[in-house]
Amino acid sequence: MNKHVKADLMLLLATVFWGMTFVTVKDAMNYSGTFSFLFMRFFLGALVVFPFAFKSFKYFNRRTLVDGTILGILVFAGFALQTAGLRETSSTRSAFITGLSVVLVPVISFIMYRTKIDIFKIIGIVLSAGGLFLMFSPENGPLNRGDVLTVLCAFTFALIIVLIQRFSKRGNVLLLVFMQITIVAFISLVLMFATKDMQIKFSGNLALDLVFTSVFATAGALVLQYKYQQQTSEARAAIIYTLEPLFASIFAFIIFRERLASAGLLGGAMIFLGMLLSEFGE
């Protein structure tokens, strides 16, 4: 098999894993609190990533500590908002709203670093904003607290993407990934005890949700991403990643029988098209 084709397939597999997390996390919220689930997910993820990151510890320095801490705090905030949001909104809506982070990246990059926003990105932003409006039409149910939390999650993930593009140029990427996961686990543990968010109903479903999100969607997907993304073009990788909300909606339909009304389907299509246009502008 051509190595470029193999790389694309491996990145597609990682994207499938990420799409599936919207369903598994929503299911896990039936058995666990937000912070307790995040702690278990990222603690297990850190254990899996550690062997891959071990050799990179020789590159650890003060800059890595600062960058990793900043990213870890933001990653925690993003996943906490997304996980809490999934308690009150559907997996499909959560996935498409989270996907807005792709079109928000150029906006945040412009605000922080005055980078240029081309016409493709502008059209992508307008399309996605219109799609978000349709997502919240009466036909699909009104805007709820979970949707608001997920919109904040999208902004947080967009900020993370902008900072990673800067930080990865001056530090070891695998070490930064390990630090992010570890810090998320630590903050989740602290808040789990501080808020007494320790309601855990151990079950087979929760165990499967934890194994999938920590081993496959966190550690496994990141390893696939960092190993194979360098073997394909950035444009191809970016387009593959935009498929995440589509996979999420497929899994949500299969497992939860979630359906978007016609306005929601059109809104999702507009957000997806906006994501693609934003990437074509690269």
Q: What is the pLDDT of residue 231?
A: 84
Mean pLDDT of the region 45-52: 92
**pLDDT tens per residue, range 107-143:** 898 999 888 888 888 898 889 889 888 887 766 777 8
Q: pTM score, two decimals? A: 0.88
pLDDT above 90 covers a percentage of the chain that reads 45
Range of the domain at 265: 3-280
Q: Tell me: pLDDT of 158 over 70.
A: yes
Q: What is the pLDDT of residue 85?
A: 96
Q: Phi first, then psi: what are they for 200, rounded to 5°?
A: -125, 120
Q: What is the pLDDT of residue 165?
A: 76
Q: Tell me: pLDDT of 279 over 80.
A: no
Q: What is the pLDDT of residue 67?
A: 92
Per the structure, how many domains does the chain have? 1
Q: Tell me: pLDDT of 282 over 60.
A: no
Q: Tell me: pLDDT of 216 over 80.
A: yes
Q: What is the mean pLDDT of the chain?
A: 88
Q: Tell me: pLDDT of 77 over 90.
A: yes
**pLDDT tens per residue, range 225-262:** 878 877 877 667 777 888 889 899 899 999 988 877 78
Q: In the structure, what pLDDT confidence band is assigned to residue 164 with cuts at 50, 70 and 90?
A: confident
Q: Phi first, then psi: what are they for 252, rounded to 5°?
A: -65, -35
Q: What is the pLDDT of residue 4?
A: 80
